[in-house]
Amino acid sequence: MADTIGIWVAALLTLFIFSFLYKDNPLYKMAEHLFIGVSAGYWVSYLYQNVFKPNLYNPLFHQGKLLLIIPLILGLMMVMRLFPKIGWISRWSIAFIVGITSGYYLITYLQTNAVDQVRASLLNFSQINNIILVVGVLSGLIYFFFSAEHRGVLGGTAKLGIWFLMVAFGASFGYTVMARISLLIGRMQFLLGDWLGLLH
Amino acid sequence: MGMGKKLSQIDRRIIFLVIGLAVALPLLFPIGLQIRVSEPAQRMYKAIDQLPPGSKVLISFDYDPTTMPELYPMNIALVRHCFAKDLKVIGMALWPTGVPLGEEAFEIAAKDYGKSYGQDYVNLGYKAGDIVLISNLGKSIPQQFPIDFRGTPLEELPIMKGVRSLKNIDLVIDLSAGFPGIVEWTMIAGGRHHVKVGGGCTAVSAPSYYPYLQSKQIVGLLGGMKGAAEYETLMNARGAAAGGMDAQSIAHLVIILFIFIGNLFMFLGNKGKA
Amino acid sequence: MNRLRKSEILLAVLFPLPLFLGIGGAYGQDSLALAPVAKVTAVDTPNDGGGSITVDWEVSPDEAAGKVTTYHIFRASEGGEFQLLGEVSSGVTKYVDEGTRDGTKYIYAVQAIGKEGKSALTKSSPVWSRGQWFNTQRTNMLLVLLVISAAILLYIRKARAGGKLFIRKIAGLDAVDEAVGRATEMGKPVLFIPGIMDMDDIQTIAGMTILGRVARKTADYETTLRVPVCRSVVMSVAQEVVKEAYLDAGRPDAYDANKINYLTDDQFGYAAGVDGIMLREKPAAIFLMGHFFAESLILAETGFSIGAIQIAGTAEISQLPFFITACDYTLIGEELFAASAYLSGEPRLLGSLKGQDVGKAIFMAIIILGVILENLGYHFLTALMTTG
Amino acid sequence: MRRQIPLAITLVVGLVMVVQYFVPHKPVGNLYDLFNTWAIVIFAFAIVLGVGNLIKIHGDRIYRLERGWGYSVLLLLGLTVMIITGIGWGIEPGTSFFYLYWHLYVPMSSTMFALLAFFIASASYRAFRARNFEAFLLLISAVLVMLGRVPMGKALWGQFPVIADWIMKVPNTAGQRAIMIGIALGVVSTSLRIILGIERAHLGGE
């Protein structure tokens, strides 16, 4: 019974949102606002149960890990942003978070997305595909080289580079289309199958 | 103003209707087209297949309901494969929204293979922290997840015996819908803690992960619903993804046709001007 | 009949066999049915902060026959009793103990376990763990990091000292004047969309620099500039930027703060709002500069359908394809930042851009050199570039 | 004060994160562990900020009975119910929180993104043009990939999937890699500027 009601509610909300395709209307606006509220509430409950309770409240108040007072304070400072007068205090916590992520990204991007990728491009030319790959990487990098005017050989190579980029963007394009269609298929499977029972 | 111009300014709602039908009709009246398995999916399959029974696999459910049609069928197919090979599966999530989805997939697959919670699989739940969390798992798993999703302390779970950190994990499988996802696992679990990483992602991000495949930073990759359908084919179990492939085919043809017609108008229009 | 008898005989012959061999039944659990593991080495796990010992062993000779299912790993503090630490499946020959106390001496032992029984313990020599001060596997990364950081910082310094730094022409930027000019001719407004992210996003910041340039042009040409935004902070920054540009152009009277307004934080709500503006006001030029997501194609499509000149720029790779096919000019990825550095003349941006170019040049040189060496059969550069 | 302390925090924390990569030994390693654990907790507080803003904006709208205040009531209702059920009785499957998640949140968020399929279709017809050689190349590659990655493509011509695989494996990998290396360098320079305090945009404009 509860499941049947749930499926009907879900189906109606799905249709409300799809109604936007015809034109913007109150049913869509209702679903949209409900959605924003529900998703924010979802995150609050989740973080409370999975982070706040086991990582801060329990260890701090039940296991006596007093050092956790510091992140508690930094966390509260973050929330102070809600109050314009003392909002500046949130900069301390933001500075902490930004420091951690900057330090982290600095190293990880350099390793995984630069050095590891360069190493993987040191290929043997026994296969034609390896040659194409190396030429593609080099010419693509030339395109993003801003210290010299793209003229002559450099210009030609940059041109080749942009072609490689375009083929890559084409692949992204194709895959994005694929992804969006898949999501629509998922919704249709729900409407036609779970709700109306027309699919087998 | 010729017919071309008029047609190119056709009411969008007609186009919406066409694409809606292109997806709905093949679902109602399936054609049953054959699915070809691509190399990255094959590699993912092999990576799991080669693991000796009892190996520990960590699956991170880093996706949400918006990408469910793509990643959920993969989730089921991958867990099934692990269970079929008698691997021990530890589930967790960097996205809170992924936990219940992973849980559901666990339950479905566990029923089919007669696997029991705590012994053969466990769901540790979600924890905030993104990259920082992954890095911490490299030091200690129980410290980050003192209890599992159901509130049981980790030391009471037989499956967690001998699992202290990522070093004791034989393969990380990530179901990735964006950030944090397979890139972060590759960077930290793979790059720093030397654990094998593979998994599935949305079709949107698949092209940008190919360099990691070529450099062997990831062992295999399933891209989008098609990737899921390929894995279902490899497992000989047609599921929701394989069932959607006819609709996917027709919708792609319709979109290609739209692009072609649109460009034809432009071409004709330009000719008219000249 | 015949078959039955055969199996009966077989049974009779084979039945005592397990007893005879001492496997199976009550005996098997305690007796040592399997050959022991050949050699167990335990060493301090290298390049870590301590608290960890790595145990390696050679497989039991019985593993090839498929008799081994798992290995048990034991640990004893010196003089203490062996305690079970963990188990791994057959085929695995390594176990990392992450729970050691630095400086304490331990002895490890490995035992093969099978259906038929188990083997004797094979012990390691005593070992203790400690932390290392430098991870030697990462020397290469340190080198790369230092060189690139130095290049970036040096160029920033040079730019600050007033040094001239050359940046190549960026095609999309030339089109800005053309687009604003056309809007003026047609007597229609110019629309600027700075993406949907907040001011803490570097793409939004880059977008604001370009907005300054566009605003300067619309001030000169006396054309209306519309800037609908998705974040309240972005609105106040955009108002500042535009006001300043109008002041610079000597036309502060033409500046209208109401033309730069906040719509909504919601992604699709914003897209619908901007669509409405496009359809009502029919701008002749549209700039999309900043961080865009799924709404990019909705915006670009509507802009295209009203026949506007569209110039886009974003570093969000997944949205670039839609801009490239639906807009007249597109700044691709880093070009957005280069354009912003070029326009603003900010030393830190220009310097960074130059420093990054040095990085690119180094990586290109390594690739060329590495490929040559690989093809000549030398692999040391590849090994050198392998990160740990 | 308001600027100096945050800059110092970023500098110290950022440097520790970089240095620990090279120095695993105790003082550095421990500090790094500690920071990590704290970061997770502070991250979690950010949600309070988001929800606080939401309540502020929509509470205001209801209070002033602005146009569409009814929608704001619905929004706050959804928010409240999810928070009360989730914090009060837990979030596991079987709870009322989970029921609401599954039948409200899941269908709505999936449908929001499914809308994009329609918009892509209409943009394909009305806007995606091969306006120059580059865009032409992009569209050709897109069409080949779209054909090659679905079963229909294979049914039409056996070589479509082979071509799509090749595009993905070779030119796509090359193009993506060039972009990746470029982005990595951008991240390095931005992070470096932030840690050293050359870049201060994240601390706000004042």
Give pLDDT tens digits for A61-73. Answer: 888 888 889 999 9
Asked if C96 and C209 sit in the same domain, the reply is no
Residues of C in contact with A138 (CB under 8 A): 364, 367-368
CA C130 – CA B7 distance, rounded (Å): 75
- Partner-chain contact D122 B256, CB within 8 Å: no
Phi, psi of C260 (to 5 degrees): -115, 95
CA B142 – CA D200 distance, rounded (Å): 37
**Which of C71, C87, C88 to probe the B interface (max B CBs under 10 A)?**
C88
- Partner-chain contact C318 B54, CB within 8 Å: no
pLDDT at C9: 44
Collect all residues with Cβ–Cβ distance below 8 Å to C80 and sequence separation of at least 6. none
Mean pLDDT, chain C, rounded, equals 85
CA C53 – CA C58 distance, rounded (Å): 17
Asked if C223 and C103 sit in the same domain, the reply is no
Distance from A160 to chain C by nearest Cα, in Å?
15
- Are C59 and C93 within 8 A, CB to CB? yes
Asked if C63 and C201 sit in the same domain, the reply is no
pLDDT at D110: 86
Q: Which bin fits A181, alpha (ψ -120 to 50), beta or left (φ > 0)?
A: alpha
Say yes or no to pLDDT of D29 above 80: no
More confident residue, C210 or D44: C210
For C95-110, letters b (16+ CB in 10 Å) and e give bbbbebeeeeebbbbb
Say yes or no to pLDDT of A107 above 60: yes
pLDDT at B77: 95
Residue with tokens 């003026």: C184
Q: Is B199 helix (H, G, I), strand (E, B) or coil?
A: strand
pLDDT at D34: 80
CA D35 – CA D9 distance, rounded (Å): 12
- As for how many domains chain C has, the answer is 3
CA D173 to chain centre: 23
Q: Is D82 helix (H, G, I), strand (E, B) or coil?
A: helix
Q: Does A122 lie at the interface with C, CB-CB under 8 angstroms?
A: yes
- Which CATH class name applies to B39-246? alpha beta
Judged by average pLDDT, the poorest of B19-23, C55-59, D33-37 is D33-37
In a domain, C373, yes or no: yes
Q: Is B171 helix (H, G, I), strand (E, B) or coil?
A: strand
Q: Does A27 lie at the interface with D, CB-CB under 8 angstroms?
A: no
- Partner-chain contact B15 D121, CB within 8 Å: yes
A131-159: pLDDT as tens digits: 999 999 999 999 999 888 888 898 999 99
Strand order in the sheet with C53-57: C40-44, C53-57, C94-97
pLDDT at B225: 93
Asked if C208 and C311 sit in the same domain, the reply is yes
| Chains interfacing with B (3 or more CB pairs < 8 Å) | A, C, D
Say yes or no to pLDDT of D167 above 60: yes
Mean pLDDT, chain B, rounded, equals 89
CA D9 – CA C375 distance, rounded (Å): 49
Q: Does D13 lie at the interface with C, CB-CB under 8 angstroms?
A: no
Q: How many contiguous H segments (helices) and E segments (strands) does chain B have?
A: 11, 6
pLDDT at C7: 44
More confident residue, B271 or B74: B74
Q: Does B143 lie at the interface with A, CB-CB under 8 angstroms?
A: no
Q: Does C374 lie at the interface with A, CB-CB under 8 angstroms?
A: yes
Say yes or no to pLDDT of B229 above 50: yes
| Chains interfacing with A (3 or more CB pairs < 8 Å) | B, C, D
**Which of C375, C376, C378 to probe the A interface (max A CBs under 10 A)?**
C375
CATH of the domain at C73: 2.60.40.10
Asked if C339 and C261 sit in the same domain, the reply is yes
- Are A107 and D21 within 8 A, CB to CB? yes
* 3-state SS track over chain C: CHHHHHHHHHHHHHCHHHHHHCCCHHHHCCCEEECCCCCEEEEECCCCCCCCEEEEECCCHHHCCCCEEEEEEEEEECCCCCEEEEEEECCCCEEEECCCCCCCCEEEEEEEEECCEEECCEECCCECCCCCCCCHHHHHHHHHHHHHHHHHHHHHHHHHCCCCCCCCCCHHHHHHHHHHHHHHHHCCCEEEEEECCCCCCHHHHHHHHHHHHHHHHHHHHCCCEEEEECCHHHHHHHHHHHHHHHHHCCCHHHCCHHHEEECCCCHHHHHHHHHHHHHHHCCCEEEEEEECCCCHHHHHHHHHHCCCEEEEEECCHHHHHHHHHHCCEEEECHHHHHHHHHHHCCHHHHHHHHHHHHHHHHHHHHHHHHHHHHHHCCCHHHHHCCCC
Residue with tokens 């034809």: B264
Cis peptide bond upstream of D93, omega within 30? no
pLDDT at C29: 44
**Average pLDDT over every residue of A29-47:** 88
pLDDT at D202: 66
pLDDT above 70 covers a percentage of chain B that reads: 95
**Residue C38 domain boundaries:** 31-123
B253-262: pLDDT as tens digits: 999 999 999 8
Strands C122-123 and C106-114: antiparallel
Residues of A in contact with B146 (CB under 8 A): 54
**Average pLDDT over every residue of D56-69:** 89
- Are C308 and C328 within 8 A, CB to CB? no
| Chains interfacing with C (3 or more CB pairs < 8 Å) | A, B, D
In a domain, C103, yes or no: yes
- The H or E element that residue A196 is part of is none
- Rg over alpha carbons for chain A, rounded to the nearest Å, is 27
Q: Does D140 lie at the interface with C, CB-CB under 8 angstroms?
A: no
- Where does the pLDDT of residue B222 fall: very low under 50, low under 70, confident under 90, or very high at 90 and above? very high
- Partner-chain contact C321 A134, CB within 8 Å: no
pLDDT at B4: 54
Ranges of residues in chain C whose predicted pLDDT is under 50: 1-29
Decide which of C92, C123, C154 is a domain's last residue.
C123
- Are C379 and A131 within 8 A, CB to CB? no
In a domain, C9, yes or no: no
In a domain, C81, yes or no: yes
CA B181 – CA B147 distance, rounded (Å): 23
In a domain, C17, yes or no: no
In a domain, C16, yes or no: no
Nearest CB to D185: which of C49, C321, C356? C356
Beta-sheet strands, E only, within D127-182: none
Q: Does B254 lie at the interface with A, CB-CB under 8 angstroms?
A: no
Nearest CB to C367: which of A106, A134, A169? A134
Phi, psi of B46 (to 5 degrees): -65, -40
- Are D3 and D203 within 8 A, CB to CB? yes
Return the half-sphere exposure (C-beta side, CA atoms, 13 A cut-off) of residue D173: 25
pLDDT at C25: 36
Judged by average pLDDT, the poorest of B38-42, C198-202, C258-262, D84-88 is C198-202
- Where does the pLDDT of residue B9 fall: very low under 50, low under 70, confident under 90, or very high at 90 and above? low
Distance from A27 to chain B by nearest Cα, in Å?
18
Residues of D in contact with B25 (CB under 8 A): none
CA D201 to chain centre: 20
pLDDT at C16: 41
pLDDT at A195: 93
